[in-house]
Amino acid sequence: MKDVNSRLEIILSAYNSHRKVVDYSAHIDQVTKTQTNCQECKRVSGEVMKMYADNELTNPLDAFHAAIILHHGIENEYAVAANDLCKYAVARLGDNHKDIRSARWLYAASYDRMLVHDGKLQKFGTQFVKNKDGKFELATPIDSATTDEERAWYGIPAIEETLKRLSESYS
Ligand SMILES: [Zn+2]
C-alpha cells in the first residue's frame, strides 16, 4: 500500500489544531454540523477538495481523513466528495482497522447529507435540524426500507433509539 500523503496529514493536523484554538462552535455550527464562516476552515477544505479533484487521495486512510474535513463543508459537492472518499476507505481499510467503524459511520452520514440536500428521504437517519422551538428533528423523514441491521453495520443507532433521542432533545 502506498504511504499516506504527507501533505494531507499535515493539513489534517493543522486543521485539528486550528479548531482547538477557540470554541469548537466558532468553526462548526452545532445545529447543522457544517462550517461556520471561519475563513481558515473554508481555505483548508478548499485545499483538500483540490487534492480530491487531482486524485491525490489514493491511500484509504488519507481518503477517510480528507472526508472528515470535507464532511464539514456546506456545499453539496463537499458531501458528495466526502461520501465518495468514505466509500473508497470503507472498501479498503479492512474490517480490523482502528478507524473502520468511524469510516463506516461517516459514509452513512455523508450519504444522508446528500439525500437531504436533494430533499429526499434519509437512508440512515443521521441528519437533524433545530426547529423554532429549539428542538432537534429529522432534516427529512427516514426511508422505511432501511433495516436496523444495515444501520448497525454503519454504527448508526436503530430508528427507535434515534427518535427517542430526538424526543428528549429540548435545549
Ligand atoms: Zn476554523
pLDDT digits (tens, 9 = 90+) for 22-57: 677 888 887 777 888 889 999 999 999 999 999 999
Roughly what angle, to the nearest 10 degrees, separates helices 60-70 and 76-93? Answer: 150
Give distance in angstroms: CA of 44 to centre of ligand 1: 9
pLDDT of residue 139: 94
CA distances 140 to 20, 112, 125, 162, Å, are 31, 9, 8, 13
pTM above 0.95, yes or no: no
pLDDT of res. 114: 95
User: Distance, CA 17 to ligand 1 centroid (Å)?
Assistant: 10
CA of residue 72 to ligand 1 center, whole Å: 11
User: Look-up: residue for cell 443507532?
Assistant: 157
Q: Provide the pairing of β-strand 136-138 with 128-130.
A: antiparallel
Between the CA of 36 and the centroid of ligand 1 the distance, in Å, is 8
Provide the pLDDT for residue 170: 60
Q: How far apart are the CA of 73 and the centre of ligand 1, in A?
A: 11
Ligand 1 centroid from CA 71, angstroms: 14
**Ligand 1: centre distance to CA 2 (Å):** 30
| Low-confidence stretches of the chain (pLDDT beneath 50) | 171
Phi/psi of residue 142, nearest 5 degrees: -90, 140
Question: What SS3 state is found at 155?
Answer: coil
Residue 118 CA to ligand 1 center (angstroms) comes to 27
CA of 68 to the centre of ligand 1 (A): 14
pLDDT at 140: 96
Q: What is the pLDDT of residue 1?
A: 53
pLDDT score, position 5 = 84
Ligand 1 midpoint to CA 19 (Å): 6
Cα 147 from Cα 159, distance rounded (Å): 9
User: Which residues, in sequence order, are bridge partners of residue 137?
Assistant: 129
- Give the per-residue pLDDT at 2: 57
Neighbours of 58 (CB within 10 A): 12
